[in-house]
Chain A
Amino acid sequence: MIRLNNLVAAYRTGRGSINAVDGVDIEIPDRCILGVAGESGCGKSTLMKVLYGDVLSPMSLASGSIEYGFNDDQNKPVTSDTIQKQWFKRISYVPQSSMSSLNPVVKIGKQFVDFPGHEPNKRKVMEQVKTYIGKLGLPVEILDSYPHQLSGGMRQRVMIALATFFQPELILADEPTTALDVVVQKEILLLLMELQEQMGNTIILVSHDMGVHYQITHRMLIMYAAKAVEYGESDSVFAAPLHPYTRMLISSLPTIGDESARNGIPGSPPSLWGELGGCRFAARCPLATDKCRAEEPPLVEHKPGHFAACHHAGSEIPAAGEPIWQ
């Protein structure tokens, strides 16, 4: 189990400091695929960076902590301060763009062994890599190829192979398929899912595509303006979303046979620079009341394992078509 204890990640800039992740406090059970969704700029990538332990200026972990739930070689629990030593051992990540994430002038195979890893004998690792690549159903020749010789889909499979080869406890993937066409996207996600099932690791997957989340995740975290606004089992979240924002995200999903163009959610999230009193979604929320504008809703468990941060969690949104927001 991974515990995020009231995580706050801040960016220090010329005009002051903003909290791009503001008090996320959740528990992620082992062996699960957690989907993270929310509009652009809501802090998904920042959360992933903090989780990975890639905290570089101007970003900082302003407060809070992470317990990863596994121990290091000295049998001490791994925390945000020591996770860096576990990179590509017990935690790995799938980058967004496979095209630009591989060294163009070095053979793919060499890029499997150019970091410390567990095993100092590179030749031995190379043999294991070959076996593993074969097991994934990928042609072994790709290890002798250069990145530009492979298709985009094949390269992204290589990235998945790299991230899973060491059987890490935790794999982070921040929009790992955005650059690919839909068919390849699906194949890649299925591969990731299959491997997760075999290895039993935890995957945290950021995607703006609610359809992807619906198909492959076990749990969902919905973020809005640096806050966790809903968290729970995917079945429960998709069947009965508690937060109006989640409802609107889900209803913006096209359904089969529905040709009408789906609009995004009208309006835009508040600036993290401004005054952030009350519920951050209030300005766009069809259910907003005075209480919402005055009081910040905490993330509370409404049903077993299903959390939401809303004063009117679970209330029906008035039928579409009515001019509910002015």
Chain B
Amino acid sequence: MGVVQYIAKRVGLYFAVLFIGLTITFFLPRFMPANPIDGYIGELQSRASGSLTSEAIAELRDNLEQLYGLKGDLFTQYVSFLNRVVLHFDFGPSFAFYPEPVSNIILNALPWTLTLLLTTTVLGWALGNMVGLVAGYFHTRKLATLLEIVGIMIYPIPYYILAVSLIILFAYIIPIFPLSPTFPVGDISLSKIWLIVYNSLLPAMALILAGFGWNILSMKALAVATTEEAYVTYARLKGTSHWTRMVRYVFRNAMLPQVTALALSIGTVFNGALLTEILFSFPGVGLIMRTAASGGDYNVLYGAITVSIVAVATAGLVIDLIYPLLDPRIRHK
């Protein structure tokens, strides 16, 4: 009963978010004063030194509008946009790499982003919460305050400063990692995997550190509050070990708000990942977006934004669906 309702609500919300997100990505560029096709034709015209005839231009415009889904009135465009994106995962061809379909470009980049993001999010969450838990559970001891100070120091550093500092520190001052990492493409071999892992360590470290400080501080606060719960006192008076109380009593309860917080912050985490890719030339969706934005490759940009919306919403949904497994009060209403 409770679970079915809970899941239905989350899934419903998920589709609502996707729908609104897609609708905004559709309308927003159409309200912009510049028409991408005008820009594209202008560019071609200047490359051809103005030798295109007006018939040729009209034909080109017609083709391009067909190609990019700009034909007909706004409603027709909207319906055909939803149809193409939702049913066929089709964003048309890339401007810059014509006629390469945008979906191919994105599907090549997506595994990179997802792997980096998933590993670092899970690691950052786990490490931050572990440190925060120890700091909170033993909050009356001096040594634990030291752990909290780590969080207090890392937390306020803006993400890009953290990333650039890491680059300066570990690629320039102590050159352990390459300044401009290269990521091999094509078939995967063992040596390539090693190279990829090695080159990903620095961006991964930046992402882990970014979530680390916040997780320490918020877990510490939650753990302190939880140690004061009557069930922790009762467990102590039953004679349970510190370990049992810290893990089975304090962590199992204090982690619940942390899971919810992760679901809510997954968008921010994703933004961080995109920024990391740009800073570390990591060949994921973020890098593609950057290239597309500076090259005016609208289709790639739409595609990447759409996929980002889907990725963030899906990650949030997955966490929301895991939640009942952790909290029996939702599982057994």
Q: Which residues of A are interface residues toward B (Cβ below 8 A)?
A: 52, 54, 84, 87-89, 93, 95-97, 100-106, 114-116, 145-146, 148-149, 162
Contacts and interface: CB of A to CB of B under 8 A. Distances in A.
- DSSP class of A's interface residues: helix, strand, loop or mixed? loop
A188 to B, nearest CB: 17
Given A102-B231, A115-B244, A146-B329, A87 B252 contact: no
Nearest to B244: A114
Nearest to A117: B239
B251 to A, nearest CB: 10
Nearest to B256: A105
Contacts of B234: 95, 101-102
Contact of A104 (B231, B233, B237, B239): B231
A105 B235 contact: no
Interface centre among B231, B240, B328 (most CB of A within 10 A): B231
A168 to B, nearest CB: 12
Contacts, number: 67
B239 A103 contact: no
B238 interface: yes
A232 B189 CA distance: 86
Nearest to B327: A105
Given A103-B249, A105-B328, A115 B231 contact: no
B328 A146 contact: yes
A45 to B, nearest CB: 13
A114 B252 CA distance: 14
B248 interface: yes
Contacts of B100: none
Interface string B215-241: 000000000000001110111011111
Contacts of A52: 237
Given A95-B230, A148-B329, A103 B237 contact: no
B231 A103 contact: yes
Nearest to A96: B230
B253 interface: yes
B329 A103 contact: no
B332 interface: yes
Nearest to A105: B252
A306 B19 CA distance: 80
Interface centre among B233, B235, B239, B326 (most CB of A within 10 A): B239
B252 A106 contact: yes
